[in-house]
Structure 1
């Protein structure tokens, strides 16, 4: 078990044993003392909301920071089975008693999300909510006036459709982004196009980055199964501030197509957390329950749970605008390696199939523009062959049992989950037929 100790006061992190990873929250670490850090710039972004958070929301942000740091700093390859890690996290909170009472549920949720074992020791003296910047000061604040909901906005195709549809329906969302290096420029290119198409005063944007730094020269983990937690924490922070301004119940929209959301295993070796569960219905359901118990009163909604990516595109409420935006959107799970989408990973192939389904040919460039090239590339063909394998089985397997392999699902909606997965495979099949692969 790897022990990590977190604190916002760097003096509390010195002189730790060699087998403990000390991590400073909301400030810089220390390379000489090998003190890691996360969230150095986050408080500045939070202050720009112009509203002081309550303790529960601040604590959830702190918990999310600690989880992301642990997930980044401990390598999966060093574990006995090459995947499942065990974490012991010591973390000061504003209201540790509330979270201690719900600790087991939180640990179970995180186990489902990442496949790891999580143990928390919540302590007193957590960092209190920061004082917001003044409305009359020089610092530019997020404009929350007349806004009515929160929408996660990654800069991907699904989140762009989510934003457009909300705007077309007359909503005024706050678009919340986790702006890792490289992501922000893509997100801003899409924002600029929204502004140029008549929505300029209809939405606001909140973006933050919680980049973890280990500060000891060691390699860091890249699978990042818990990355959604920081994204969600930024949404909760924004929702709380918005609710304080408008004094109305706030919904948080999580736009994700049902195929990726369920993420049913394409092959037996992809069962479990080898596939991401960041928007899986069970994760959303359980984190919603946790929020309710700790009095974080916001509703998480995915309006596209039973739609494929192709159906999302075809049903977009401003398709001409979406077609302009598509080349700026990112779906690839590897794009940062070469600053280009690969075209061969599962998310890329589903993206390409969805555009084919919707009859759209104008897309971003790919490392492999010709899908048939993948067939002869030994190192890059695994995802394509996994999809081919799933397509060949789809008419012979019990689809309800298949989608349940990714995690629990509501029985009354099981047929709908099975249908969206089947429809998603059908979309990929049509793409592969058109490219003479099937």
Structure 2
């Protein structure tokens, strides 16, 4: 168990030890590289350059997201008693601690659902001064670019987010979005290349929490990143706050989360994958519970996944601009190993679903893969696991086609029967796409 302490002033942080991990957040004080780790070093400057005053609650939310992402990054799962579920105690200074104390238990539970860890959040009063907008020509141009925008759309550089942006900005949609991106290392260039395919004006907000481990730590960062969507959604809420300020309109509330319905549910392919292998980054239960929690704090936001009932292949085949999506496919990233090798592996579950979707939609050109021929990994234990798991799931569900019971293994489903039936159909079609692709390469 590790206690993480966060503060913008490194002089108010405890010393580093095996049980105590101090983290400096933001750039309001000189960075102490030896005393502590750090994260979101440039965030306050990014906020100031928006040129508009930002709601302090939104700053609190991104502070919490910074703390969560940092702890998740700095605590290796291998240190947990079961080598997976960590116990993480976070001490976080916020501007309105009473608001966050009131929802702390709910947020801890949500983060547990998302990451598989045990979270304890303790909030204290922050003495951070709200970042004042920069009054410069550049910030004025940024503010002007936000006027007239009426929604936020997540834009990761992945294939689903590319389809989402193309559908909105190359089609007849009345949505005028700010594209919110998290610029992981090597992702920025991919995102910019895809943006060149978009035909209508849009706003932009991109920053990186970029957690940097203290030189005193004797281990590497953890790369499982189960909580990344909480960070991403907190950024989106910050984007909504900026749009409200630029447009003087507090009714702006829509946050678009483009994700295919199969991976949104992401039912575990085998029993041993329940929890550890099945991510829940955009699971409808997580999104609906987080929306309710944030609205109880006072945000008045609404998460929308327009592709909840579409497979990835259907998203590609039905995209409004087939020429643009054809160009976006080789530019986009879907792989769960991308941030380790900076080439898509071709055999992890996200890569399998991606390759199946491209096959389903009839596109010939895809991104490069480290393993283009799947048959070549069948004798490699560390690489074949996802292929075998998909094959096992296909065979199991043919023998006992209880898809609804399978869906429930990934988490609570909406109460509405019609919605549950649609989710079941989507996941069934999504698995069928993967089966068709595996057959085409002689693996099913």
Match of 1:318 in 2: 321
Aligned residue-pair number: 432
What per-residue deviation string (whole Å, max 9, x for no partner) do you get for residues 304-354 of structure 1?
011100011111011111101111000111123332111100000100100
Moved over 3 A (4+): 14-18, 135-140
Greater Cα offset, 127-136 or 391-400: 127-136
Kindly indicate whether the alpha-carbon contact (under 8 Å) linking 1:64 and 1:230 is maintained by their aligned counterparts in 2: yes
| RMSD of equivalent CA atoms | 1.6
1:279 aligns with 2:282: yes
| Aligned residue among 158, 161, 173 for 1:159 | 161
Match of 2:54 in 1: 53
What per-residue deviation string (whole Å, max 9, x for no partner) do you get for residues 184-205 of structure 1?
01001111232xxx33xx2121
The DSSP-based 3-state class of the residue aligned with 2:89 is strand
| Aligned residue among 324, 341, 349 for 1:338 | 341
Match of 1:249 in 2: 252
Q: How does 1:351-390 map to 2 (within 5 A)?
A: 351-390=354-393
Gaps in structure 2 of 5+ consecutive residues: none
The DSSP-based 3-state class of the residue aligned with 1:366 is coil
Deviation of 1:46 (Å)? 1.5
Match of 1:206 in 2: 205
Normalised by the length of structure 2, the TM-score is 0.94
1:423 aligns with 2:429: yes
The DSSP-based 3-state class of the residue aligned with 1:210 is coil
What per-residue deviation string (whole Å, max 9, x for no partner) do you get for residues 370-414 of structure 1?
222222333211001111111112232311110000000113222
Greater Cα offset, 277-286 or 387-396: 387-396
Deviation of 1:101 (Å)? 1.0
Deviation of 1:250 (Å)? 2.6
Kindly indicate whether the alpha-carbon contact (under 8 Å) linking 2:344 and 2:370 is maintained by their aligned counterparts in 1: yes
1:434 aligns with 2:440: yes
Cα separation, partners in 2 of 1:160 and 1:17, compared to 1, 3 Å? closer
What per-residue deviation string (whole Å, max 9, x for no partner) do you get for residues 248-291 of structure 1?
42310000001111010001110024311110111101110111
Deviation of 1:14 (Å)? 4.3
1:87 aligns with 2:93: no
Distance 1:31 1:42 in 2: 18
The DSSP-based 3-state class of the residue aligned with 2:388 is helix
1:188 aligns with 2:192: yes
Distance 2:129 2:270 in 1: 46
Q: How does 1:24-173 map to 2 (within 5 A)?
A: 24-27=24-27, 29-33=31-35, 35-134=36-135, 136=137, 141=142, 143-167=145-169, 168=171, 169-173=173-177
Deviation of 1:18 (Å)? 5.3
Kindly indicate whether the alpha-carbon contact (under 8 Å) linking 1:206 and 1:238 is maintained by their aligned counterparts in 2: yes
Kindly indicate whether the alpha-carbon contact (under 8 Å) linking 2:51 and 2:140 is maintained by their aligned counterparts in 1: no
Kindly indicate whether the alpha-carbon contact (under 8 Å) linking 1:26 and 1:39 is maintained by their aligned counterparts in 2: yes
Normalised by the length of structure 1, the TM-score is 0.95
The DSSP-based 3-state class of the residue aligned with 1:193 is coil
Kindly indicate whether the alpha-carbon contact (under 8 Å) linking 1:58 and 1:128 is maintained by their aligned counterparts in 2: no
Match of 1:232 in 2: 233
Distance 1:372 1:189 in 2: 32
Kindly indicate whether the alpha-carbon contact (under 8 Å) linking 1:103 and 1:120 is maintained by their aligned counterparts in 2: yes
Distance 1:249 1:354 in 2: 33
| Aligned residue among 263, 268, 272 for 2:271 | 268
Distance 2:16 2:270 in 1: 44
Greater Cα offset, 377-386 or 262-271: 377-386
Distance 2:14 2:378 in 1: 53
Kindly indicate whether the alpha-carbon contact (under 8 Å) linking 1:150 and 1:238 is maintained by their aligned counterparts in 2: yes
Match of 2:407 in 1: 403
Match of 1:4 in 2: 4
Distance 1:213 1:118 in 2: 21
Gaps in structure 1 of 5+ consecutive residues: none
